[in-house]
Amino acid sequence: MIEKPRKRRRPFLRAMLLVGFLVILAGGIVVGLQLTRDRVDLRPQSEALLSQIADGKAAEVYAGGSPTFQELMLAERFVEIAETMNETLGPFVRTIDVLDSQLIDGASGRTARVVLRLKFKKATTTGQFSYQKLGGKWRLLGLSVKVPDNLRETYEAIEYDPARTRAPREVVTKARNIGRALEKGDLDAIYAVMSPPFRQSVSRSDLDQLIVARTRSLGKIERMLDVLSSTQNRKKDRAEVSAVLQFAEAKATMHLAFIKSERGDWLLSRMQIPYPGAGP
């Protein structure tokens, strides 16, 4: 059964806005934000990112992002958002003007924010980009691009396409099984359903360390509660599920990504459990 998409009057690309603003705020939650008088020109870097997205290289943009950005956003979802942006606005053409620029010193170190007036093939609009300085380099922390009113219906038709509104039932069932395995501490069962590339990047001991780190801070995993959302891509070979995990001392949102194997099985391709207040 496919859930009927709901009309949502939102002026920004939804998930991109969320990522951008959550990360901007993250630096000031504990000690507050401090604006500096220094200046940095992030226009060329932002233009390069938009050109990569227009060329279908969103995965490369994601790979070059900051660890915080990658914690907040699954790679598969970011690629979907980039595809939606391309379909809605058309290819990026040029920057018209720099509207605002800020350097911020906060709990997460030095971050920067730039607001640009942008020209795409189908419209002129504004975009916000945030960056974090790591190892002497500015790495993407978040971004948002405004959808003009005259393209909002186009955006909603693409973003809320019924064909990718919900993940297959089999995927949601696998997500629930992963939740039960976490309750029991059966990480072998989770490792068994991980895709080969995921296993190459995350070892069995890495999986242990992730769970140990979360339970040390949040207490024992008691159970998986509600499934918040599920989506699949247009090709129907990738899917995502977000669900609430109840720890002894807090609740956290778990994000799972799945990929369909050549045999037709759904395998876990990514698992993220951000600390409460850090995730989308």
Look up residue 175 and give its two tokens. Answer: 């997500």
Query: Residue 268's closest CA among 202, 212, 185, 184?
Result: 202
Per-residue pLDDT of 188-216, as tens digits, reads 999 999 999 899 888 999 999 989 988 98
Question: What residues make up the domain containing 76?
Answer: 14-160
The answer to whether residues 71 and 153 belong to one domain is yes
Query: Are residues 169 and 102 part of one domain?
Result: no
pLDDT above 70 (res 180): yes
188 and 137 in a common domain: no
pLDDT over 50 (residue 25): no
What is the C-alpha to C-alpha distance for residues 221 and 184, in angstroms, rounded to an integer?
8
Alpha helices by DSSP H, listed for the chain, are: 14-26, 43-54, 58-63, 67-72, 75-89, 152-159, 169-184, 187-192, 196-201, 204-218
Domain boundary among 160, 177, 192: 160
Which CATH number covers residue 169? Answer: 3.10.450.100
**Number of domains observed in the structure of the chain:** 2
For residues 148 and 234, state if they share a domain: no
Q: List CB contacts of 260: < 8 A, sequence separation 6 or more.
A: 236, 237, 238, 239, 266, 267
Domain membership flag for residue 5: no
Residue 118 lies in a domain: yes
pLDDT score of 262 more than 90: no
For residues 22-51, average pLDDT: 62
Give the pLDDT mean for 76-104: 90
Residue 9 lies in a domain: no
Pair 197, 80 in one domain: no
Listed residues 160, 182, 215: the one ending a domain: 160
Cβ contact 93:124 at 8 Å: no
Domain endpoint, select from 160, 179, 204: 160
- In this structure, the answer to whether residues 36 and 54 fall within a common structural domain is yes
Does residue 70 share a domain with residue 127?
yes
Residues 126 and 86: their CA atoms lie apart, in Å, by 15
Residue in 97, 25, 92, 89 with CA at minimum distance from that of residue 61: 92
Torsions phi, psi of 107, nearest 5?
-60, -30
The pLDDT of residue 185 is: 92
* Residue percentage of the chain with pLDDT more than 90: 43
Residue 54 included in any domain: yes
User: Does residue 278 belong to any structural domain of this protein?
Assistant: no
pTM recorded for the entire structure: 0.57
Looking at the fold, whether 48 and 174 belong to one and the same domain comes out as no
**Same-domain status, 208 and 260:** yes
Question: Do 67 and 186 fall within a single domain?
Answer: no
Count the Cβ atoms, other than its own, within 10 Å of residue 76: 21
Question: Is residue 280 in some structural domain?
Answer: no
Tell whether the model's pLDDT for residue 23 goes beyond 50: no
Q: Which residue has the higher pLDDT, 10 or 147?
A: 147
Residues 168 and 234 grouped into a single domain? yes
* Residue type at position 273: I
Q: 83 and 110, same structural domain?
A: yes
